[in-house]
Amino acid sequence: MVTTVRHLGPNWYAAVMGTAAVATAGAALPGPRVPGLRTVCAAVWALSLLLLLALLAARALHWTHHRDQARAHLLDPAVAPFYGCLSMALLAVGGGALTVGRDWIGDDAALALDVVLFTAGTATGLAAAVAVPYLMAVRHRTMAAQATPVWLLPLVAPMVAAAVGPLLVPHLPPGQARATLLLGCVAMFGLSLLATLLMLPLVFARLITGGPLPLALTPSLFLVLGPLGQSTTAVGAFADAAPGALPAPHGEALGVLAVLYGVPVMGFALLWLGLAGAHVVRARRHGMGFAMTWWAFTFPVGTCVTGAAALARHTGLFVYDGLAVGLYGLLVAAWAVAAMHTARGLFSGALLAAPRTAPVAPRPVTVRTTSGAVR
């Protein structure tokens, strides 16, 4: 077991995030309830909790017995951003405890679990949002041509905290406690949004000027949907929690923000979904095989489901009901494919094997022909 986890990176938390997203997004769907859907969502949430516990234990072994590899991950600009996934996994499972997990473990246990996971997830998310960009600036040697959507991961973690934090607001005493938590979530929304707006132009410029991403990284284009869908979800959650936490003018303003911010951002998310989908189709035609980046098809789409559901609540438009349901179908299909391939890779050992070393290309040889030409 100790040797098995040597190459277990923080990117594996994406599987927990994607699984929890299936549960929470399913519970958030607007419209008539599908019989049995909530029970299935509760079971999927329980699976995400088990995956989180197993992965935390495996990563603890990794840090205990393979510290050299763990430090190498932190100093690798391709791996370090995935440390944001730890925070998002904790927050996703914690938020799911209050939305669907309480059906199985009870309200008190769900609340206690969410408090623990929200606290830990928020702390690690804020730390990652500072530490990873700092490492990228002073220790990593990166260029604009290397920009990928993976760079967004540590910056999105506080946005996830902002989106799930309002679930805890009604459980606090009225007054200062509720207002402090809610406005703290608004502050995390702002810091994550502004940081994303700084990073996203680098990603888009790299895509336009540098051409398509490598095949294995192409699914990471879906990561851009994360801050878009999660921020729309967050402003909807602010509006839901505001009436019992803030005075009327501020609470009403958050209700307006949920619509005025969420509608255009969801429009851009749909544009990016089409662009990213086209790149994925191209990559598949060029031989893109399964990699753990396929989990990027899950959690970001899940945030768009909850974002569309929030817009359905605050606008009353049926079009957002249909959008949420359609995106949820895409999410479930993507999760099933990613989970199947991941399970197969685990059983075969391929996903936990050491990365393959790229073959060294022979040095070019210059040959002069009898005619004097060089080739």
| Dihedral sign, Cα of residue 317, residue 321, residue 326, residue 328 | positive
For residue 171, which phi and psi values (nearest 5 degrees)? -90, -5
**Residue with token string 């370090």:** 80
User: Are the C-beta atoms of 337 and 289 separated by less than 8 Å?
Assistant: no
pLDDT tens, position by position, 157-176: 999 999 999 999 999 999 99
> What is the SS3 assignment for 374?
strand
Residue 109 confidence (pLDDT): 96
Partnered with residue 306 across adjacent β-strands are none
| Exposure on the CB side of residue 277, measured as CA atoms within 13 A | 9
> What does the angle CA 264 – CA 265 – CA 269 come to, to the nearest 5 degrees?
120
User: Are the C-beta atoms of 222 and 153 separated by less than 8 Å?
Assistant: no
Q: 129 to each of 78, 137, 157, how far by Cα in Å?
A: 16, 13, 7
Q: Which of 98-112, 167-181, 233-247, 347-361 has the lowest mean pLDDT?
A: 347-361
Helices 299-315 and 225-241, interaxial angle, to 10°?
40
Which residues, other chains included, contact 288 with Cβ-Cβ below 8 Å and sequence gap of 6+?
215, 216, 218, 280
Q: Where are the alpha helices (DSSP H) in 167-247?
A: 176-210, 225-241
Choose among 232, 215, 183: nearest CA to 28: 232
- Burial of 325 per CB tally in 10 Å (0-12, 13-18, 19+): middle
Choose among 20, 147, 180, 169: nearest CA to 88: 20
> Which band of pLDDT confidence, cut at 50, 70 and 90, is reported for residue 33?
confident
| Exposure on the CB side of residue 169, measured as CA atoms within 13 A | 28
CA 307 distance to own-chain centroid: 14
Q: Which of 136-145, 222-231, 311-320 has the lowest mean pLDDT?
A: 136-145
- The answer on pLDDT for 69 being more than 80 is yes
What is the arithmetic mean of pLDDT over 191-210? Answer: 94
Q: 29 to each of 99, 237, 306, 307, 328, how far by Cα in Å?
A: 12, 14, 7, 10, 8
Q: Which of 27-31, 264-268, 269-273 has the lowest mean pLDDT?
A: 27-31
- The answer on pLDDT for 338 being more than 60 is yes
pLDDT tens, position by position, 125-141: 999 999 999 999 998 88
Residue 273 confidence (pLDDT): 97
- Burial of 78 per CB tally in 10 Å (0-12, 13-18, 19+): middle
CA-to-CA distance for 280 and 34, rounded, in angstroms?
31
For residue 371, which phi and psi values (nearest 5 degrees)? -85, -5
What rounded mean pLDDT belongs to the chain?
91
